[in-house]
Chain A
Amino acid sequence: MHQKSKRWGAAVALIAAGGLLAGCASSGSSGDVTYWSAFVSKDTERYYQEHYVDAFNEQSDDTKVKMEVKQLQNLGSLTDTAVSAGRGADVVYSAGPSSALGFASAKRIDALDDYAAEYGWADKLQPWAYQASQVDGTLYSVPVEYGSIVMYYNPGVFEEHGWTVPTTLAEFEKVATEAQAAGMMPVGAGNSGYQAQSEWYLSAFLNMAVGPEKLYQALTGEAKFTDPEFVDAISLFQQQIDKKWWGGGKDRWFTNTDTDLFTGLADGTVAMYITGTWSFGDAGRYFGEAAGNDAEWDWAPLPSLSDDVAPGVYPMAIGTSLSVNSASKQADAAAEYIDFVIDDPARSYDYLAATGQNPPPLSDIASMPDTVDERSARLYTEAPESGNLGYASWTFFPAATDTYLWSEFDKIITGDLTPQAYLEGLQKVFDGELAAGKVITPFEPVPGA
């Protein structure tokens, strides 16, 4: 009997010890935190490793981050496959809140509200980005890179032709008409090599011509993409493409690459180029000494192409969001690392200065150092301050709607689809995704901003 109770005691102790160990493991108080990432260049990777991984590991006693570098092209699909199988890194990458929503719906990533409260993320992040990262009021991802779409131009070329940066439809049409008369491509556009590139221009056009308020209504189901404002906008875009203002029209759209268009901007054959601010980092290689010319680039906020839209709209885009894998045994440590990535504005802005990489949408924009390129610093201070924020399709449109947007737009360019039919198809796909809960709640626009 005595012997038997001893055995029972040992068994209970073992179970208790096991439980304690399991508790330690799930609390993630120690051990390696894995993180998959990808970079545009080796230099950027080295900088990140030194300032975001090694620096974290040096200051942390318990937690060590182990970064695995993947290819930029397949980081998303690798993560999707691994996370859907209940595996993958502890810190989960996603290409913005729409991608994170898929993980959240599948319960593959953890709710972050407790961590958000612990680390004060609502205060650290700009309100629109924090709001966009929530699913039904619960935070599931933390945005760590953001940008916008702006109009790039060559100040020397504008000066030569006596143009001022357009802010209204009339001014935009004047510059486009004169540029075309001068033998230039008025607005750079094209999708050779990357079919989805069309959505950069489409996102810009919808924000310029329809405006954030109407887009917000459509994204929340209050309005339809088939409403006259959208039909008019796509019709106007189609007319401008037919006039060969954008990308030289259908004969050139499918041939132009991003490189061609920046080269054209530098050599004066392209007047304006409307694209993402992710090019701030490498636009320099087409201009000035590095490119063997004396050209310069600058940017301006997007013009308004409708009386109902205030000029200077910034379509907001979140390029990278981080979440905590629900299969992680190091959840607390993973959250600690995510906080490290956004915790220090100086570190984020130094990264921007050194590599041109988009910073997190931090609410602290005052501590932007002088080392940041003036054009980048202007963007990351003016955009949040302006309040005139719009919606980039790849961040706020659900996956199938977004794919329809750019893939079917080819048929608008070739004239195989009418704007009405195109938008009816868009609305149909969107309705399905809205009903299936695949649309993130967009931030509310500032009326008349």
Chain B
Amino acid sequence: MTSATARIGAGPAVRRPRRRRRLVAWLFIAPLAIVNLLVIGGPGLSSLLFSFTDWDGLGQANFVGIDNYVELFQSPNVLAAIWHNLLWTLFFLIVPISMALLGAFLLSRLRRGQVLFRTLYFIPYVLATIVSATVWRQILSPDAGIGAALANLGFDGLAGVNFLGDPSLALGSVAFVNNWQWWGFLLVLFLAAMQGVNPALYEAARLDGANAWREFWHITLPGIRPTLMFLVLMTVIWSFLVFDYVYILTQGGPAGSSDVLATVLYRTAFSEQRAGYASAMAMLLSSISAVVVAGYLILRKKLDWDV
């Protein structure tokens, strides 16, 4: 009874600071929320509305129902671009993440020189995309690139290989260049996460006779799971938004062989001047990201992950 009275008596006094804390939290969130509402919410909503019109970006927008969406899923170019995005996603889920995990794990065991390697691997990430893409275009040129240079030295295995001009190689070549810039960034993030794993766990494992692989599999990977899962999620989202390297290196060519949704969208909006149809593509891109995030949240809830 006493404690109940005390709790009842303390109610308003406890609620006031709580309310204040909530208010302060809202005040902190408000500027960003307002900016997001204006910068993302407004244009997002207008894109949604325009996706049901034939707007050309200048004149009157006429309502066309779901015609743009029907055309979207019947267009061979859009379907090919979606397929390329899926291949791109698969590549970036496997190659850079594996390279970065392995690199970070090996670096984490280095006692000397870790900073040097970390810096070396990170440098490509801080280069401007236009700079690294232009350099790589030269490197991959069949006339003046690495194939020609090796041929001059007597190794003609890559001579005449047209990395960016051959439809069967273009997408893979662009992904390779993008990965060159990307994996070092992942490595640094994984390395930082690995350094947060409790060292006592490794010591205990070693006492139990665990080898490096077992340490990696049973301690490192579970220990960095929040970082890993976040980067997997972001990789999927970024892979569907990819534009810069593709546009600079191939513009989606040859013959659409490296087209991704974003390059098709760009061409549709700014070359074809079909802003309504391009808005429908933008909605598709946003929906894919939303599905990925929703899937992640559901998994997190079901598996009770602390990320």
Give which listed residue, B59, B142, B256, B274, contacts A106 with CB less than 8 A.
Answer: B59
Closest approach, in angstroms, between the C-beta of A244 and any C-beta of chain B?
14
Given A102-B273, A105-B59, A106-B60, do A411 and B255 touch, yes or no (CB 8 Å)? yes
Closest approach, in angstroms, between the C-beta of B147 and any C-beta of chain A?
12
CA distance A80 to B272 in the complex (A): 13
Given A84-B58, A255-B164, do A400 and B255 touch, yes or no (CB 8 Å)? no
Contact A413 B254 (CB under 8 A): yes
Give which listed residue, A84, A196, A255, contacts B162 with CB less than 8 A.
Answer: A255
- In chain B, residues 251-307, which have Cβ atoms closer than 8 Å to a Cβ of chain A? 251-256, 267, 270-274
Residues of B contacting A413 with CB < 8 Å?
A: 254-255
Contact A102 B255 (CB under 8 A): no
Given A84-B57, A106-B60, A255-B141, do A410 and B165 touch, yes or no (CB 8 Å)? no
- In chain B, residues 226-274, which have Cβ atoms closer than 8 Å to a Cβ of chain A? 251-256, 267, 270-274
Residues of B contacting A103 with CB < 8 Å?
A: 58
Contact A77 B270 (CB under 8 A): yes
Closest approach, in angstroms, between the C-beta of B222 and any C-beta of chain A?
47
Contact B58 A407 (CB under 8 A): no
Interface string of A387-404 (1 = CB under 8 A from B): 000000000000110111
Closest approach, in angstroms, between the C-beta of B113 and any C-beta of chain A?
40
A324 within 8 A of B: no
B143 within 8 A of A: yes
Interface string of B90-132 (1 = CB under 8 A from A): 0000000000000000000000000000000000000000000
CB closest chain-A residue, reference B56: A102
B172 within 8 A of A: no
Residues of A contacting B251 with CB < 8 Å?
A: 194-195
A252 within 8 A of B: yes
Contact B271 A403 (CB under 8 A): yes
Given A255-B143, A399-B271, A400-B272, do A414 and B56 touch, yes or no (CB 8 Å)? no
A227 within 8 A of B: no
Residues of A contacting B165 with CB < 8 Å?
A: 192, 251-255
A45 within 8 A of B: no
| Total chain A interface residues with beta-carbon distance under 8 A | 35
Residues of A contacting B162 with CB < 8 Å?
A: 251-252, 254-255
A364 within 8 A of B: no
CA distance A250 to B166 in the complex (A): 9
A329 within 8 A of B: no
Interface string of A321-333 (1 = CB under 8 A from B): 0000000000000
A214 within 8 A of B: no
State the majority secondary structure of interface residues on B: loop
CB closest chain-A residue, reference B255: A410
Closest approach, in angstroms, between the C-beta of B259 and any C-beta of chain A?
9
Residues of B contacting A436 with CB < 8 Å?
A: 54
CA distance A413 to B164 in the complex (A): 15
Given A254-B162, A399-B273, do A191 and B253 touch, yes or no (CB 8 Å)? yes
A416 within 8 A of B: yes
CB closest chain-B residue, reference A402: B271
Give which listed residue, B253, B270, B273, contacts A254 with CB less than 8 A.
Answer: B253
Contact A106 B271 (CB under 8 A): no
B167 within 8 A of A: yes
Residues of B contacting A192 with CB < 8 Å?
A: 164-165
- In chain A, residues 400-441, which have Cβ atoms closer than 8 Å to a Cβ of chain B? 400, 402-404, 407, 410-411, 413-414, 416, 436, 438
Give which listed residue, B60, B167, B253, B274, contacts A195 with CB less than 8 A.
Answer: B253
Contact B58 A400 (CB under 8 A): no
Contact B59 A400 (CB under 8 A): no
Closest approach, in angstroms, between the C-beta of B168 and any C-beta of chain A?
10
CA distance A402 to B273 in the complex (A): 11
- In chain A, residues 167-214, which have Cβ atoms closer than 8 Å to a Cβ of chain B? 191-192, 194-196
- In chain B, residues 132-171, which have Cβ atoms closer than 8 Å to a Cβ of chain A? 141-143, 162, 164-167
Closest approach, in angstroms, between the C-beta of B189 and any C-beta of chain A?
34
CA distance A103 to B57 in the complex (A): 10
CA distance A103 to B273 in the complex (A): 12
Contact B271 A108 (CB under 8 A): no
10 further A-B pairs in the complex, CB-CB below 8 A; given A196-B271, A255-B165, A411-B256:
A106-B56, A106-B58, A195-B251, A251-B165, A253-B165, A254-B164, A260-B143, A399-B273, A400-B272, A407-B267
A-B residue pairs, 9 tightest by C-beta: A106-B59, A254-B165, A410-B255, A255-B165, A254-B254, A106-B58, A400-B272, A399-B273, A403-B271
- B residues with a Cβ closer than 8 A to A are 54, 56-60, 141-143, 162, 164-167, 251-256, 267, 270-274
- A residues with a Cβ closer than 8 A to B are 77, 80, 83-84, 102-103, 105-108, 191-192, 194-196, 250-255, 260, 399-400, 402-404, 407, 410-411, 413-414, 416, 436, 438
